[in-house]
Chains A and B, each alone.
Chain A
Amino acid sequence: MRIRCPHCGERDNGEFSYLGDAAPRRPDGMEASAQAMHDYVYLRDNPAGTLRELWYHAAGCRSWLVVTRDTRTHAIEAVEPARDVARARSSGEAA
């Protein structure tokens, strides 16, 4: 599998480590409920199809990336720096 790191270019997947589904959002703050934290830590959609997922370019630039990939075919649609995705998400919520 080849992943196109936005900073380093296309690399073998062996350079990356994997975390999984990028959908769950950490319930930050002292008000977060145990139930919400349980769902964040443990529950996954696990679709057979398009999945937005977190990869870490461990043997490269150490960027966390959001990779949009089809879990049936492994076809990769997009690779974005996770930081940009997270910021856009926060600013989207603020707006």
Chain B
Amino acid sequence: MRYSLFSVLGQALRGQRDWTPQWRDAAPQEAYDVVIVGGGGHGLATAYYLAKEHGITRVAVLEKSHVGSGNVGRNTTIVRSNYGLPGNIPFYERSMKLWEGLEQDINYNAMVSQRGVLNLYHSDAQRDAYARRGNAMRLAGIDAELLDREGVRAMVPFIDFDNARFPVKGGLLQRRGGTVRHDAVAWGYARAASDRGVDIVQNCAVTGIRRENGRVTGVETSRGFIRAGKVALSVAGSSSLLAGMVDMRLPIESHVLQAFVSEGVKPLIDCVMTFGAGHFYVSQSDKGGLVFGGDIDGYNSYASRGNLHTIEDVMEGGMALWPGLGRLRLLRHWGGIMDMSMDGSPIIDRTDIGGLYLNAGWCYGGFKATPAAGFCFAHLIARDEPHADASAYRLDRFATGHLIDEKGMGAQPNLH
């Protein structure tokens, strides 16, 4: 059923009786043209764009748990395209443009809210670095504004301007950035892909990848062998484990990133705000909870939870920036497993194995990338050549030196 005000009103009168599952809970068939491993945002978006843009519908998305059980539902919901390096800029702007038309495209309200992303700066050097980034964005036709202290005060008057250890001097603002209701992205893509014929197979764990003569032939799963012309890995924190099945080692480590939500309160903050002198960023969900986060815990982990040291570090940043938060209560904190790459940027590429494609290394930029990652990965899978906007995301860039290191941290995943 198409979603609209009319269908909602109609069903209100009929006791909501006629709604059907938003996506088919498919049983795996024997063979597919493309098998996508991972039923998160990226995998589902890839399936959707394979069907929509390339007419490839003999596609299965295999998910070991349920749709959206990974990082797409564990992030802080921020979308933005305020990157500074040419390898990243067109890709994230593609993503932003897709976000802007997403709901009408997939007929699902993911609550794309372009409320602005404000990165604060606290020194002249930081201001100049943001100017450099903002100018790069402007060169690419992306909106960016450099605010002074008064410009920031007008947006977020409640932060500490007067008693701060690191006084706020201004900020870089991308008005088109904002937040998106994360779970709805997974559900919306799942529904739209399913409607176009894609099989979404839940509770189906991939246990092996079969090869013949240097080419993939299918995947072993907890629900049996599934033949596939092409296999596309889109499994974030589990990328190394899947790659290990075909003896590939990746320039990736899995790290835990914690996220936090406060109790719900009436509207407090209208934008996404990032502290520049500590690890803290915050926005407010439509339900009223402040959603915030900070740095990764900093050690390899596959456990979806972190430790007190990082929690305190994040809250200290919060209180330093916004001392009115003191009596607001932390409701819940959790962790996601990030596929931290060696230069902080992702990989969307072929592998040395014919028909095996890799989408990985998203660090904590994966959520905002969801539409473009799906769009570009689908292009790569369908055409066997990279999409222009993702052409820098090559696996061999570590050998050639074409790194995309926004923070200049080097081959140290936990510092990106």
A59 CB, min distance to chain B CBs, angstroms: 11
User: Which A residues lie within 8 Å of B412 (CB)?
Assistant: 19-20
Beyond A20-B413, A41-B411, A42-B411, whether A71 also contacts B250 by CB under 8 A is no
User: Within residues 1 to 53 of chain A, which ones have a CB less than 8 A from any CB in chain B?
Assistant: 1, 12-14, 17-21, 34-35, 38-39, 41-48, 51, 53
Beyond A12-B309, A51-B300, whether A44 also contacts B398 by CB under 8 A is no
How many angstroms from the CA of A1 to the CA of B306 in the assembled complex? 9
User: Which B residues lie within 8 Å of A41 (CB)?
Assistant: 342, 398, 411
Number of A interface residues, CB 8 Å? 29
B307 lies within 8 A of A1 (CB): yes
A42 lies within 8 A of B241 (CB): no
Contact with A along B367-388 (1 / 0, CB 8 A): 0000000000000000000000
User: Which A residues lie within 8 Å of B302 (CB)?
Assistant: 48, 71-72
User: Which B residues lie within 8 Å of A13 (CB)?
Assistant: 299, 307, 309
A74 lies within 8 A of B303 (CB): yes
A43 lies within 8 A of B307 (CB): no
How many angstroms from the CA of A71 to the CA of B300 in the assembled complex? 6
How many angstroms from the CA of A55 to the CA of B299 in the assembled complex? 9
B250 lies within 8 A of A44 (CB): yes
A46 lies within 8 A of B300 (CB): yes
A20 lies within 8 A of B249 (CB): no
A-B pairs with CB below 8 Å: how many?
75
Q: Does B253 lie at the interface of the complex (its beta carbon under 8 Å from any beta carbon of A)?
A: yes
User: Within residues 295 to 344 of chain B, which ones have a CB less than 8 A from any CB in chain A?
Assistant: 298-303, 307-309, 313, 342
User: Which A residues lie within 8 Å of B398 (CB)?
Assistant: 38, 41-42
Q: Does A90 lie at the interface of the complex (its beta carbon under 8 Å from any beta carbon of B)?
A: no
Contact with A along B231-251 (1 / 0, CB 8 A): 000000010110010000111
B307 lies within 8 A of A20 (CB): no
User: Which A residues lie within 8 Å of B414 (CB)?
Assistant: 18, 20
Beyond A13-B299, A53-B299, whether A46 also contacts B309 by CB under 8 A is no
User: Which B residues lie within 8 Å of A44 (CB)?
Assistant: 240, 249-253
User: Which A residues lie within 8 Å of B254 (CB)?
Assistant: 46, 48, 71
User: Within residues 181 to 230 of chain B, which ones have a CB less than 8 A from any CB in chain A?
Assistant: none
Q: Which residue of A lies closest to B248 (CB)?
A: A43
B253 lies within 8 A of A20 (CB): yes
A29 CB, min distance to chain B CBs, angstroms: 20
User: Which B residues lie within 8 Å of A1 (CB)?
Assistant: 299, 307, 309
User: Which A residues lie within 8 Å of B1 (CB)?
Assistant: none
Q: Does A73 lie at the interface of the complex (its beta carbon under 8 Å from any beta carbon of B)?
A: yes
How many angstroms from the CA of A41 to the CA of B412 in the assembled complex? 9
A14 lies within 8 A of B249 (CB): no
How many angstroms from the CA of A69 to the CA of B412 in the assembled complex? 19
Q: Does B399 lie at the interface of the complex (its beta carbon under 8 Å from any beta carbon of A)?
A: yes
How many angstroms from the CA of A55 to the CA of B241 in the assembled complex? 23
How many angstroms from the CA of A35 to the CA of B398 in the assembled complex? 11
Q: Which residue of A lies closest to B398 (CB)?
A: A42
Beyond A13-B299, A18-B298, A71-B300, whether A45 also contacts B251 by CB under 8 A is no
How many angstroms from the CA of A44 to the CA of B221 in the assembled complex? 25
How many angstroms from the CA of A71 to the CA of B337 in the assembled complex? 11
A72 lies within 8 A of B250 (CB): no
B309 lies within 8 A of A71 (CB): no
Contact of A71 (CB < 8 Å), options: B251, B303, B399 = B303
Given contacts A17-B298, A48-B238, 7 further A-B contacts (CB under 8 A): A1-B307, A34-B399, A44-B240, A46-B250, A46-B300, A71-B254, A71-B302
Closest 3 pairs between A and B when the two form their complex, measured CB to CB:
A14-B309, A46-B240, A43-B249
28 contacts between A and B (CB under 8 A): A13-B307, A14-B309, A18-B298, A19-B412, A21-B253, A21-B300, A35-B399, A41-B398, A42-B251, A42-B398, A44-B240, A44-B253, A45-B244, A45-B249, A46-B240, A46-B250, A46-B253, A46-B254, A46-B300, A47-B240, A47-B244, A71-B254, A71-B301, A71-B302, A71-B303, A72-B302, A72-B303, A74-B301
Residues of B within 8 A of A (CB): 238, 240-241, 244, 249-254, 298-303, 307-309, 313, 342, 398-399, 411-414
